[in-house]
Amino acid sequence: MSQVSQKSQHIPRATIERLSVYLEILANLKAEGIEVVSSEQMAAASKSNASQIRKDLAYFGEFGVRGMGYYVKDLMQSITSSLGIDREWRAVLVGIGNMGRALLTHKAIPARGYRIVGAFDSDPNKIGTRINNFEIYDIARLPDMVHELNAEIGVIATPPDKAQAVAEYMLQAGLHGILNFASMRLTVPADVYVEYVDFLHHLYALSFKISLAKIR
Amino acid sequence: MSQVSQKSQHIPRATIERLSVYLEILANLKAEGIEVVSSEQMAAASKSNASQIRKDLAYFGEFGVRGMGYYVKDLMQSITSSLGIDREWRAVLVGIGNMGRALLTHKAIPARGYRIVGAFDSDPNKIGTRINNFEIYDIARLPDMVHELNAEIGVIATPPDKAQAVAEYMLQAGLHGILNFASMRLTVPADVYVEYVDFLHHLYALSFKISLAKIR
DNA sequence: CGTTGTGAAGAGCTTCACAGCG
DNA sequence: CGCTGTGAAGCTCTTCACAACG
């Protein structure tokens, strides 16, 4: 457990993205009391392809039983373990605007094993207040506090013009993973991973598809 | 203007996603007063590849000047026009929890031409109240109101277990584009486009990369 | 001359088809 | 027998390399 392992050297980024979809499907199946599932059934539920699913899973190991399928519970454990998410991950959040507050109260975050262990802002009116049992700390204290909080992930939910400065604090704090909700590209060293939650690009994609559909 | 056009038949989904990154870079350049940019310079700013950028742009037309580069202002106009986002898009929002409130107050949404024209919830305590000048309507009124509000996009910001029911209301209302913030896959007809804002999968991706880096 | 636009090559991802195995 | 795991084929996307051209 909590040991990332793989059969293959390189795993396609697309595979990683699909695994979370599979996890969701499996959670639903488990809730319905279904214990075994075939790649064909999962394909139907995920609008993917059965071979794709088998190949995705095979990157990490042989989890299925030939002639039968996959045990739902075991497969969930295998996927979470493969992704390294079968343990608690501690994160610090910076930016206590509406988005930050939404994250502090979001139920899915702790439900998936992610724990926000510190909340930071630069606004003196917010520093020292409490939101949903989180005390808001001064962003200047981030580098010191990350270590004692034992956090590994930094979440940025500030306005775009503050995002790079916050990222610098996070680098200084020794964080190697950043989840960025601000619509601003970040400049970081190669050993720091940044994931962008960019709902504007999803809006653009929708507009484009709708526009295209209309001229067809 | 507001006329989507393309040189090629099929445009890679990856290209569409990158265009919003290019737009952001161009907006920054414009703010700095820079008027002309080369694909090489844009590649440096976007951590992409110069050929990639030229090819992405060439799907839609010939926007550059050989020996010189691209005019920043013209290119922004060309991209927004190509994506069909050089006009106002009207959206309805369902789910007035913390995430919904964050969206109602998010400055980037109107700044990019998206206007939330209606906010809905099913909670009687919320219906009839006002948030940031938006009156909250009963979700049951969505199908009727979408037409008079002239909305084209539906945004779902409810808990996961409500998302599919909300999607049904949106289908009934005749919406063809859905932006889904709930962590739940939706079942919709083929002529309805759904984009998923799934920050959990970004968290998973971070955990995986950090875990991998540690065992290397 | 410098940079675009683009065919061709290369890399990466998906799907097929079937051997392997419970 | 049925379904997985996987080489090979097929397809899509990315990168290269250079002709085209302002």
Q: What tens digit of pLDDT does each residue of A185-206 get?
A: 899 998 999 999 999 999 999 9
- Phi then psi for residue B53, to 5 deg, are -65, -45
Residue B107 belongs to some domain of the structure: yes
* CA dihedral (B100, B101, B105, B107) positive or negative: negative
Cα separation, A45 vs A26, in Å, equals 10
Query: How many domains are there within chain B?
Result: 2
Q: What is the pTM of this model?
A: 0.94
Quick one: B57 and B94 in the same domain?
A: no
Question: Which residues of B fall within a CB distance of 8 Å from A179?
Answer: 199, 202-203, 206
CATH code, A144:
3.40.50.720
User: Residue for token digits 């024209």?
Assistant: B117
The rounded distance, in Å, linking the Cα atoms of B99 and B198 is: 13
Q: Which of A128, A91, A141 is nearest to A113 (CA)?
A: A91
Cα distance between residue B98 and residue B79, in whole Å: 33
CB contact under 8 A, A203 and B112: yes
State whether residue A163 is helix, strand or coil.
helix
Q: Is pLDDT of B215 > 70?
A: yes
What number of other Cβ atoms are within 10 A of residue A205's Cβ? 20
Check whether A2 has a pLDDT greater than 80.
Answer: no
Residue of chain B minimizing CA distance to A46: B185
Secondary structure (3-state) at A181 = coil
Residues B94 and B196 in one domain: yes
- Domain boundary, last residue among B56, B82, B108: B82
In this predicted structure, the answer to whether residue B160 has a pLDDT above a threshold of 90 is yes
- Strand A153-156 relative to strand B36-37, pairing: unpaired
Chain A residue at shortest CA distance from B96 = A102
Output the domain CATH number for residue A25. Answer: 1.10.10.10
Mean pLDDT (chain A) is: 94
B3 band by pLDDT with thresholds 50, 70 and 90: low
Burial classification of residue B213, based on how many CB atoms lie within 10 Å of its CB (0-12 exposed, 13-18 middle, 19 or more buried): middle
Question: Distance between CA A2 and CA A113 in Å, rounded?
Answer: 12
Residue A215 lies in a domain: no
**A93 and A173 inside one domain:** yes
A3 pLDDT more than 80 = no
Residues B72, B173 within the same domain: no
Mean pLDDT of B52-63: 97
Question: Same domain for A94 and A78?
Answer: no
Residues A76, A110: one domain?
Answer: no
The answer to the question of residue B133 being in a domain is yes
Look up residue B149 and give its two tokens: 């509000």
Q: How far is CA A60 from the centre of its chain?
A: 19
Identify whether B40 is part of a domain: yes
**Residues with Cβ < 8 Å from A160, sequence gap 6 or more?**
A182, A183, A184, B108
Cβ contact A117:A151 at 8 Å = yes
What is the three-class DSSP state of B29? helix
C1' of nucleotide C14: residue with nearest CA: A52
Contact call for B17 and A201, based on CB within 8 A? yes
A216 pLDDT above the threshold of 70: no
What pLDDT band is residue B7 in, cutting at 50, 70 and 90?
Answer: confident
Residue B205 lies in a domain: no
CA distance B129 to chain A (A): 18
Domain identity same for A190 and A113: yes
Q: Is the pLDDT of residue B192 over 90?
A: yes
Residue A2 lies in a domain: no
pLDDT for res A1 = 53
pLDDT at B141 (0 to 100): 98
Distance, in Å, from the CA atom of A108 to the CA atom of A195, rounded to the nearest integer, reads: 18
**pLDDT tens per residue across span A71-126:** 999 999 999 999 999 999 999 999 999 999 999 999 999 999 999 999 999 999 99
Query: Smallest CA–CA separation between A134 and chain B, in Å?
Result: 16
Q: Is the pLDDT of residue A5 over 80?
A: no
pLDDT at A52: 98
Distance from CA of A68 to the nearest CA of B (A): 26
| CB contacts, 8 Å: A99 with chain B | 102, 106
Angle between helix axes A160-172 and A142-149 (nearest 10 degrees) is 60
- Report residue B161's pLDDT band, with 50, 70 and 90 as the boundaries: very high
pLDDT of residue B136: 98
Please give the mean pLDDT across all residues of chain B.
94
The model's pLDDT over A15-71, given as tens digits with 9 standing for 90+, comes to 999 999 999 999 999 999 999 999 999 999 998 999 999 999 999 999 999 999 999
Q: Which of A20, A97, A102 sits opposite B204 (nearest CB)?
A: A20
A173 and A96, same structural domain?
A: yes
Tokens, residue B36 = 């002309």
Of A20, A45, A114, the CB nearest to B201: A20
Q: Are strands B153-156 and B89-94 parallel, antiparallel or unpaired?
A: parallel
User: Residue B122 belongs to what domain range?
Assistant: 89-200
Residues in chain B closer than 8 A to A198 (CB atoms): 20
Cα(B39)–Cα(B55) distance, rounded to whole angstroms?
10
Helix (H) / strand (E) containing A171: helix A160-172
The b/e string for B64-99 (b: 16+ C-beta within 10 A; e otherwise) is beeeebbbbeebbebbbbbbbbbeebebbbbbbbbb
Q: Out of A61, A82, A103, pick the residue that ends a domain.
A: A82
Helix, strand, coil % in chain A, rounded to nearest 5? 45, 20, 35
Q: Which of B54, B82, B110 is the last residue of a domain?
A: B82
The band of A214, judged by pLDDT with boundaries at 50, 70 and 90, is: confident
Q: What are residue A37's phi and psi, to 5 degrees?
A: -140, 145
Q: Which of B61, B151, B103, B26 is nearest to A200 (CA)?
A: B103
Both A57 and A103 in one domain: the answer is: no
Mapping DSSP to helix (H, G, I), strand (E, B) and coil, where does residue A180 land? Answer: strand
What is the rounded distance in angstroms from the CA atom of residue B76 to the CA atom of residue B67? Answer: 20
Q: Which residues of B touch A197 (CB under 8 A)?
A: 197, 199, 202
CA-to-CA distance for B181 and A17, rounded, in angstroms?
Answer: 16
The rounded Cα B159 to chain-centroid distance in angstroms is 20
Give the residue, A213 or A80, on which the prediction is more confident.
Answer: A80
* Residues of chain B contacting A17 with CB distance shorter than 8 Å: 201, 205
List C-alpha distances in Å: B141 to A93, B63, B85, B155, B174. Answer: 37, 45, 28, 15, 13
| DSSP string for residues in A15-45 | HHHHHHHHHHHHHHHHHTT--EE-HHHHHHH
Per the CB < 8 Å rule, is B185 touching A24?
Answer: yes
Cα R_g (chain A), whole angstroms: 20
- Same domain as B73, residue B93: no
Q: What is the rounded distance in angstroms from the CA atom of residue B44 to the CA atom of residue B20?
A: 16
Residues B179 and B132 in one domain: yes
Distance from CA of A215 to the nearest CA of B (A): 8
| Residue A108 and residue A75 share a domain | no
Residue of chain B with shortest Cα separation from A2: B211
Percent of chain B past pLDDT 70, that is, above it, reads 98
pLDDT confidence of residue B1: 52
Q: Is residue A210 part of a domain?
A: no
Identify the closest residue of chain B to A212 by CA–CA distance.
B4
* Nucleotides in chain C near protein beta carbons (<7 Å): 1-7, 12-17, 20-22
Task: Look at residue B11 and tell me if it is in a domain.
Answer: yes
Q: From B108, B104, B154, select the one nearest B129 (Cα to Cα).
A: B104
Q: Which residue has the tokens 């979408």?
A: B146
